[in-house]
Structure 1
């Protein structure tokens, strides 16, 4: 009885190892096919893949934060306003009737 159970356990282990190997190889094949598809699409359209541009933007932002350029950049992002650009205003409540009449509905 022990001999039969040992053979059964060994066969079951081999089947499970084979199933795991087939699963792992299928995942690798799908990953490789996906990479090939993305690269072919990039070659045909002439546009970089999205993950490439995302990592390039991340690296650019990382370099700007490392150098300390984030506060003085012009264009997008964080720009420190000049002292003469700051305007103090007096806050007041806007009534709903006046607010509806102030802006035309058809822009």
Structure 2
């Protein structure tokens, strides 16, 4: 009969070896946050300029934000899908709905 401690030691050694060669990746997720007076967050204003939502952290997310008036990139490069069209917004830039289309924002990616 084989030594069970030897088997356990081999499993631990194999696990340690795999852990050393497999890179750890962090989950990239956009998160909603309180805007406060911050200007570095992605800021979305909607419902006739009466509501503001802010997002932080790199990543992407499907969303449903209705009647969007403006999207500000803050200190980020951002890709959004607004009214079915993709828009890339560069750092410290914004896009505004000057025609009153009240479109839905369905996707956001912060680089």
- Please report the TM-score for the alignment, with normalisation by the length of structure 1: 0.32
Select the structure of larger CA radius of gyration: 1
* Greater share of residues in helix: 1
- Greater relative contact order (Cα < 8 A, sep 6+): 2
